Every structure is written in structure tokens, then in C-alpha cells.
Structure 1
Amino acid sequence: MLPLFSSAQDVINIERFREAQGVTMDGEMVRKLYDARLSTGNVEMVCDSAWQFINRGEVRAFGNIQIDTGDEMIWADTLYYYNNRDLSLLRGRVVILQDSTTLFGDEVDYNFLTKVAIFNKGIRMEDQDGTLIAQGGTYFQNQDSAVFRGQVQVADSAQYAEGDSLFVNRKNQFLQLYSNIFVADSSNNGILTGDYLEADSTGRRYVDGNGYMRRISADTTDTTHINAAELLLQEEDSTNTIFGYQNVRVWSQKFSSISDTLKYDSETEVFQLISNPKAWHKNIQLTGPYISVQMDSSEVEQLLACHKTIAVQEDSATGRLHQIKGDTLVADFTDGNISKIRIYPNSQVLYHTKNENDEPDGAVQYSSPHTTMYFSNGDLQRVLAGKNNGYFFEEFDGLADRQLEGFAWNPEERPHRPDREVAPRFDPVPLNPPFELPERFTEFLNNQEQPVEMKE
């Protein structure tokens, strides 16, 4: 065993070679070794050829390179190693295998001391959880974390995610995805987009900036769309909780709403709308400081609003606006159609009547401690009210414009079904690495269940 060179760092030793030559290149002495095995400390390398630059701490290796550091295995076509900096410039079909993680790249700068790998021209990372690709990145082995930049894509059997950059700490199972994010979750039939995504091992996902979520029901009969400045999703066991903040808009086939804050619990199927909410179901608009929407699969089962709330229903025949107001309002639905409304206390009602030809024919307005209204197929059938004060108005011009105090009817604010399909920007993640695998790496894979010998 001969010392190749020495410095303040470890000595690089020549373990074995088939042939050696001494040449002068640009006035500098260079030792060329063929079919060589080299070592330094716990690092061993084999290659087709290696050049030693006598007067400086540099080694260049070419062809079928395999490096074993004890912590990882590395393969490449070309290596420039600077001993005084523990820096290796790996070029051409670079593969780094560390535990259950395999990294692929065409141009990698690697520091043996700090265990930091910089992928300058593309990176592919594979592990038991899936595959990641990007235009570039930095992998910190000691911290088990990485930064990826440019067309970042992550895919496994159940999820796909993309963005412009990504930070991930795999030890803590924490990630941050930046700019133009898109996440598709096939297990929940969901899509998530926004400007920034943060996720961890607890099932928490936080989206900041232009948050959008689309979720298709398990029976595929209904699709819910949620837009908000911020979205927070928490998964625990089989339960999903969704929070929306700032300019929250919800649309589904049977229900839509706007509010400043939203909470949805998948176990109870309840939407809670807080701060300036409005909710719509068919021809009904409900307005109040707090609104709760109880769903039953894809159908609305109950609407509840508290504290000075008002409900407005547009008559399908006359177009007039029935108005119901009170401190608490509960509307029950059967098969998607309104069946009963309870208003208490301090109920107020303005209900427009019509004749047998479905033409406008006056109105009833009254106030009562409580009112219960029963419907059939959306039409009022009977009313039960406590002691009340009220009026019956004969039909006259302007009656259609009569309003209770606090009246709110804002069909222009009602969310609509998104008119564009949200889809990934990039092509699917390729199934295979971007280059033909190095020969020694292929041999390693074929023999990984057997003791591995460094090829001479």
C-alpha cells in the first residue's frame, strides 16, 4: 500500500492498481493509475483510472467509479476530489445510496466531511415513501433534510404534489412547499392548491395564500369546492377537520356559502360559518353572525343560525321574497327540500301570498315569541305561532319591495362552481431514473442480498 499524497487531511492511499504511468501535463507532474483501488480513512474507491496531481491535493477518477464511505455508497462516471476541502465534484450518472434513500443526478458537488450533496443539474430521490424530482437541490445527510428547487414533484401510490421549491426534514416528517403548489390525494378524492403548503407527521396541512380545496364525496355524487386565503386541514384516524380563514367561499351542488371563518368536521358533517356569513340552499339565503349547516352525505339536513338572523326565500312562482327573522332560526330539510322552520324567540315573518293561479295576492306580516312553519315540496302548508301582532296586506304596487329590518338578499355574492379544471403543471414523474444505471451500481443491486465486494 503506497501513500498517494498527504496534507492536513487524511492520507489517500493506493491500495491496488493494474498499471501506473508518470506524465507531465501543462508542466505539472501527474501519476496515472489504471483499474485502481484507493482509500482514505474509512472511504474506499475503485475506478477504471485515476490521476494524481503530485504538487496539489487533487485526484481525478474516470469510468465506472464506486465509492464506499461506510455511511453511503456512491457511483459516478467522473470524480474530481480536492483533499484539502474534502470536496468531490461528481459528474455523469451520479447515484448516492444512503440507508433506504437513493439519489440520482448528473452533476453533484459532495463534501465527505459535512455530508452535504449539491445537485446542480437535476435530482431524483427515491425511498420507501415514493419518488421526488426537481431541477436542483441540496441534500443534508446528517440532518436528514433537503432543499429542492425548480419544478419540484413528489409522488407515491396515494398522493402527488408539485411546487416551485421544497424544504423537507424527513427525520421530523416536516415539509414546506412553496409557490404554485398542487396536491392530489387519491385516498381522499381531494385536490389542494395555493401559494404555500406546510405539512407534518400529525396529518396537519396548512395552506397560505389563494387556498383552494376540492373534495369528491366517497360515492362520487357530490363535489365540494372551498376557497380561502388560508386553509388548515387536520387528519386524525378517519376524521378530517377543515378550517378556512379570510374570504372563505364554499360551493357544492346542494349548498354554498361565504364567511370570514369556516370549520368543517367530516365525522359530524357539520359546516360552521363564523363572522359575516351567508349561506344558500336552492332558493333560500340565510344571513347571521353564526351559521351551522348539517349535511347528510350530499344533502343539506339542517340549517341553523343564531343571534339576529334572517332567512329569505325566493318564491319560485312569483319571484317575491319571503322573509323570516329571529334570534335563532332552525330549518330542517327532507330529501333536500325544506320541511320545517322554527324561529325563536322574537320571530318576525313577512310571507307573500298568491292566488290559485300562482299570482301575487297580498302578504302577511307579524311578530311573535316563536313561530313554526311547515312545508311540502318547498311550499308553505301551515304556521304555528305564539301570541302575535300582525297585518294582512291587500295587493298593491310596492308590496313586493317590502322588507323586514335587517333584510339581506345578495344573489350576486353567491359562489359559483369553478369554471376551470385544476390540474398539474408538469408531466407525470418518470418511473425510471434519467439515465442508464452505472455498471457497478447494477451489479450492486443484483447482489445486494449477498456480501458486496468492491470490483477490481
Structure 2
Amino acid sequence: MSNLIRISLLFSITLLMVSGFATSNSHAQDVVQIDYAREATVITENGESIRKMYDARLKTGNVTMVVDSAWQYIQRNQMHAFGNIQIETPDEWIWTDTLYYDINEELSQLRGRVIIRQDSTTLFGESVDYNFLTKVAFFNKGIRLEDTGGTLIAKRGTYFQNQDSAIFKGNVQIADTAQYAEGDSLFINRKTEFLQLYSNVLVADSSNNGLLTGDFLEADSTGRRFVDGNAYLRRISADTTDTTHINSNQALLLEQDSTNLIKSYGNVKVYGPNFSSVSDTLLYNSSTEIFELISNPIAWHNNIQLTGPYITVQMDSNQIRQLTAYHQTFVVQEDSTTGRLNQIKGDTLITDFMDGELSRILIYPNSQVLYHTANEQGESDGAVEYSSPRTIMAFKDGELERVVAGKNSGYFFEEFEGLADRKLDGFSWNPERKPQKPRVLIQPRFSPVPTVRPFELPRRYLEFLETNSDQIRF
């Protein structure tokens, strides 16, 4: 897609040659060279002189035009050309079925099958207006751009030559071998490789199984991608066994060498098969595989909920390896048999996982634990509550196996009514806030970019391709 950002649409065409057709016949003959014309006559219609040329090849300066027919309206300083027109300059080639040029207004109109080729970029349209004074070109009835990297299509397009920029509107689609993007409108600057895609934005990247959507996308040549409004990022692991979904108000994606950085802001929600979270801010580094959750974060793994002002999640490929929280952390584990809520709190908490299963919890200092016990029949039969400077809890297959605590003080409670509702100070349990897997699969709104051109290619264009086949790069 980077080649599409480097769109080269120099519309200095071509038709400046027409300015040589002045009101004076002798002046026109001095400026315009007729290399060949099967027939050239001057007639008078309704008191107006018209020079008519057929099967003509014309030159002016470094511009060459081949036409089936051309009519010069001498008094009006206008020219009409018809039938398989080909225009060549040192910078580009142009083909069109009809040409209207108003010399006084410096406005040209290309109609029919319009093709503009410059270097390795080719544009197709059926109605193109170009103003020589402002250096602005308008594609009024669709535009198709092709270069060595891919294809861009839209309902309308405007190119600003002096600013080296372009605007495309209406069902904008960009496709190359690895990426597809769509939106309602697009602004690009070729020189700075800067683009903005507006409204109903979708970007799919098959190279890393990524999908990005939002209300607005801004990108540049550094690999920076900023999404504003309903930002959504989906990434599928290389082995397709793991899919991560990130929703937020805004998202910033940065590419630095082989590292991808993700920064999400505002109502951030993450869903994955092994890890889910909510927070105000999320930071992710692909080289370290660490998620940082900042400001009011909550993280979930299976039946475990972790809250704290700052949480880090260490991933290892598709598996969660470690959860870490600092300052006033609180962990709740829902017992899979009794449904009771085991609780742990302290200043720092480190939770380790092995093969995706909880293996150890370390909490220090000022650890507090409330753990419900069960008998051999799996029935609740009491609880343990204690405080200790340091507590280590070991798990097997997700169930508590042993506890190692330092000097502690606490209580053992025999089973009684209301024990299941006992809570440590700062208790927080919010399963209703846990993000769920999206049920609707996001798909492009539009049909795939057609592989065929929008019209039958003109004869002279096909002849150009055949003659220059060794130079055509796509």
C-alpha cells in the first residue's frame, strides 16, 4: 500500500499544447506543427471560422497529439478533438475519446475512456476536468489508480498538482498483495507520504492477520497509524489458534523496525481466549509481548479477576505467562465447585501461569487472604482468613494445592450461614464488565476491487502497451 501513497499524477499534460491555437491563423501555424493530416480545411459556420483536421498528428514544443479528428474554433479560442486521442509529453501519456479545451479559461475536459499514465502509475476515468490556472484535476465519474503496489478506486477524485495532494470521495478502496483498506473519503500527500481516511474505515492486513476499523485513520511513512473514534483492532495468531480483540476510543499503532507498539486510550476493552481486560489506557509492545493496563484496570483469566491501579500482562506467544499488579491490588478467584469467592489483597502481586493454567500467586507485603475450604464431597465447610507480610499460593490444574505464609495472624471459620458473603476490605468483583468475544464478524462493506479495468481499453493504448512491453512494470 505504500506505493499507493506515492501516487504520481502530474497532470501538466499535454493540453498546454492547445494554447498554441490562437485567434490568428498565421500565429497558430507558427506554434503548431502538423506532422501529418489526412485532411485539413478551414470552413465558416454561422460566421465562425473552424479549422477541421482528420487523422492528424500535431506537435507543439515537446507535446505530441494524435487524433482521429480535431476542430479548432478560432474566434472562441476553443478546440474539440474526437476519436481515440493520444497525447504524449516527456512526463506522461494520455488517452481519451474526446477532448474539449477552452484556451481563455484554461480548462480542459477529457471524456469517454480516459487513461493517464506517468512512470509506473496509471489512472482510469470516464470524466476528467483539468484547470491549467489552478493546476487542479477533477475525476467526476469514478477513478481507478494502478501502480506497482496495488489499486485504488473511488467514485470521485480531485488532484492538486501544486500541493502534490489528492482527495478521493465515495466508496474509496485500496488493495495490494497484502493489505486492503476502505472508507468514505481519502486525503493523501504524495511528497510526505501522509494520508487520512475518513468514515467507516476498515484496514485488513493479511501479512500479520490484522484488522483495523474506526471513524478516522491517519498514517504516514514512518509506520504510524492513528485511529480516532470507535477504534477496533483484531489480530489472529500465526497458527490461527488465538484471536485478540481490542476496542477503544482511540488507538495509536507504531512500527519500529520489527517491533509493533499499540497504544489505546479511552474505554479500552481487550478480549482473548486466555486474557481479557478493561482500562482507561493500554500499551502493548510486540517485542516484549507485554500489555500495560493503566488507570482503573481490571484483568481476567478464566475464573480469576485482578484489580489495581497498574497491571502488566506478560504473554508468551498465545499463552498468558504472568500477571503483575502494584499498589492496593485485589484478586478474586471463583471456586469452580462451590462458586465461592476466594480473595487475596496486598501491595504487590505476581501471578504465574504454566501452559495457560494458574501455577503460583505471590503477594507481598501486607498480604491478606480469605480462602474458602471444601470437604471431600466438594461441599463448603469453612474458610481461612489471615494477614501476613508475604504469602505464596501454589496451584495445580487451577486448584489450590498449598499455601506458604510468613508470620501471620488470622482465623479459621467453621461453616455458617452468611460465610459465603464475607469480604475483605476493598473487595471488587465485576464479572459483568468482562469483555466478551464479538459475535459479529466484521467484513468489508464493498465488493472486492475488480481486477479488470472499468472499460474496454482504447486501440492506441493497447498498441502502446505492446510497443513498450519491455518497459511496462505491471
TM-score by length of 1: 0.94
- Which residue in the other structure is 2:5 paired with? none
- Which residue in the other structure is 1:13 paired with? 32
- Which residue in the other structure is 1:386 paired with? 406
**8 Å CA contact 1:88, 1:109 repeated in 2:** yes
- Which residue in the other structure is 2:4 paired with? none
**8 Å CA contact 2:280, 2:297 repeated in 1:** yes
Structure 2 matches for 1:219-230, cutoff 5 A? Answer: 219-230=239-250
Structure-2 change in CA distance of 1:386 and 1:248 (3 Å) = same
Offset of residue 345 of structure 1: 0.7
**Partner deviation per Cα, 1:204-252 (whole Å, 9 max, x = no partner):** 1111000001100011110000001111111222221111100000001
Structure 2 matches for 1:53-202, cutoff 5 A? Answer: 53-112=73-132, 115-202=135-222
**Partner deviation per Cα, 1:53-108 (whole Å, 9 max, x = no partner):** 12111000000111123322111000001112332100000011112211110000
CA distance in 2, matches of 1:6, 1:116: 26
CA distance in 2, matches of 1:26, 1:322: 99
Q: Which amino acid aligns with 1:13?
A: V
Offset of residue 381 of structure 1: 1.5
The worse-fitting range, judged by mean Cα deviation, of 55-64 and 231-240 is 231-240
Give the counterpart of 1:442 among 432, 438, 462.
462
Structure 2 matches for 1:384-423, cutoff 5 A? Answer: 384-423=404-443
Offset of residue 175 of structure 1: 0.9
Q: Are positions 1:294 and 2:314 aligned together?
A: yes
Q: Are positions 1:349 and 2:366 aligned together?
A: no
CA distance in 2, matches of 1:186, 1:450: 31
CA distance in 2, matches of 1:384, 1:156: 58
Offset of residue 171 of structure 1: 2.3
**8 Å CA contact 1:95, 1:103 repeated in 2:** yes
**8 Å CA contact 2:391, 2:404 repeated in 1:** yes
CA distance in 1, matches of 2:136, 2:46: 32
**8 Å CA contact 1:5, 1:13 repeated in 2:** no
Q: Are positions 1:271 and 2:291 aligned together?
A: yes
- Which residue in the other structure is 2:72 paired with? 52
Structure-2 change in CA distance of 1:70 and 1:112 (3 Å) = farther
Instruction: Point out where structure 1 has 5 or more consecutive residues left out of the alignment.
Output: 452-456
CA distance in 1, matches of 2:132, 2:382: 88
CA distance in 1, matches of 2:470, 2:135: 27
Q: Which amino acid aligns with 1:271?
A: F
Corresponding pairs, count = 447
**8 Å CA contact 1:4, 1:14 repeated in 2:** no
CA distance in 2, matches of 1:86, 1:18: 28
Instruction: Point out where structure 2 has 5 or more consecutive residues left out of the alignment.
Output: 1-19
**8 Å CA contact 1:272, 1:293 repeated in 2:** yes
CA distance in 1, matches of 2:204, 2:45: 56
- Which residue in the other structure is 2:270 paired with? 250
Q: Which amino acid aligns with 1:165?
A: S
**Partner deviation per Cα, 1:164-216 (whole Å, 9 max, x = no partner):** 00011222221110000111100010110000011111111111000001100
Offset of residue 371 of structure 1: 0.7
- Which residue in the other structure is 2:329 paired with? 309
CA distance in 2, matches of 1:157, 1:144: 25
Offset of residue 258 of structure 1: 0.3
Give the counterpart of 1:208 among 222, 225, 228.
228
Q: Which amino acid aligns with 2:22?
A: F
Matched position secondary structure for 2:448: coil
Q: Are positions 1:337 and 2:343 aligned together?
A: no
- Which residue in the other structure is 1:427 paired with? 447
**8 Å CA contact 1:210, 1:229 repeated in 2:** yes
Matched position secondary structure for 1:444: helix
CA distance in 2, matches of 1:49, 1:311: 83
CA distance in 2, matches of 1:436, 1:55: 36
